[in-house]
Amino acid sequence: MIDIIKPDKKFSRRELLTGTGKLAIGAALISAGGAALVSNAEARVKYPWPYKKVDPDRAAEIAYENWYKGFCCYAVASGILVPLREMVGEPYTSFPIEAVKWGHGGVIGWGTMCGTLLGAGFAISLAAGHPGEKVLNEVIHWYSETELPIYKPKNPKAVFKATSVSNSPLCHISVGKWMAKEGVKFFSPQRKDRCARLAADIAAETARLLNAWADGRFKPAHAPQAKIHQMTAQNNCGDCHSK
């Protein structure tokens, strides 16, 4: 039995279908005409969701501030998804961004994939679908090959000097190289701010690449990893394998 939500305000059928009305997506709805039921399948917005260009500076600011609320994965996902909630509305509004928080510390402290990249992956997937994997691949290359962090917060929560190139998307290696360079411990205010700023950088780069993709200007510079190495892999082979 399908629940019927009675709108207290009248919505057009189009508003109901596109979710610009205030009603829950996926629920059975009464059209403005009052009779026709819209099925669950019809009301659900197709994947991927509509994308509108996100300002990279705004994405960075949100990510920096939100790192302190839910860490790296949540920070980057919200840097992209909060502006999309404002510009597009549903279904972004109903997506619980807090649900991706577990990516922190390379998945709850296991130091595997950096949470910023997992956060980017969630946002890119929702906005660009499976073809977005090419965009994510470029974000991961940029993360691994760039001297980070670059972002300068308006109100920094800690001061530090070091920037580092991770040569790897792994949290443990990325944060470890930076900690060694700065000479601080993991639970220091400097390390926290380094990761918050790095989240800002990844959110901004994700927005830049998604915007290029939306404009039809995106050109992948790299092939998929498994195709290159004939195995799933990171690129810093020598860090773990002796020659």
For residue 243, the minimal CB distance to ligand HEC (Å) is: 11
Asked whether 57 and 22 are in contact (CB, 8 A), the reply is: no
Q: Which one of residues 6, 35, 240, 242 is an interface residue with ligand HEC (CB under 6 A)? A: 240
Residues 216 and 138: their CA atoms lie apart, in Å, by 15
Examine residue 233 and tell whether it contacts ligand HEC (CB under 6 A). Answer: yes
Examine residue 241 and tell whether it contacts ligand HEC (CB under 6 A). Answer: yes
For residue 230, the minimal CB distance to ligand HEC (Å) is: 8
For residue 237, the minimal CB distance to ligand HEC (Å) is: 3
Q: Which of residues 194-223 bind ligand HEC (CB under 6 A)?
A: none
Amino acid sitting at position 124: I
Those residues with Cβ within 8 angstroms of residue 132's Cβ, 6 or more apart along the chain or in another chain: 48, 124, 125, 210, 213
Greatest Cα-to-Cα distance within the chain, rounded to the nearest angstrom:
72
From first CA to last CA, the distance across the chain in angstroms is 65
Examine residue 243 and tell whether it contacts ligand HEC (CB under 6 A). Answer: no
Instruction: Give how many residues touch ligand HEC by CB under 6 A.
Output: 10
Asked whether 115 and 73 are in contact (CB, 8 A), the reply is: yes
- Which residue stretch of 25-33, 77-85, 201-209, 228-236 sits at the interface with ligand HEC (rule: CB under 6 A)? 228-236
Residues 216 and 211: their CA atoms lie apart, in Å, by 9
Residues 18 and 110: their CA atoms lie apart, in Å, by 40
Those residues with Cβ within 8 angstroms of residue 178's Cβ, 6 or more apart along the chain or in another chain: 162, 163, 164, 166, 191, 194
Examine residue 242 and tell whether it contacts ligand HEC (CB under 6 A). Answer: no
Examine residue 237 and tell whether it contacts ligand HEC (CB under 6 A). Answer: yes
- Which residue stretch of 15-23, 32-40, 84-92, 232-240 sits at the interface with ligand HEC (rule: CB under 6 A)? 232-240
Examine residue 5 and tell whether it contacts ligand HEC (CB under 6 A). Answer: no
Using CB under 6 A as the criterion, which residues of the chain lie in contact with ligand HEC when the complex forms? 229, 231, 233-237, 239-241
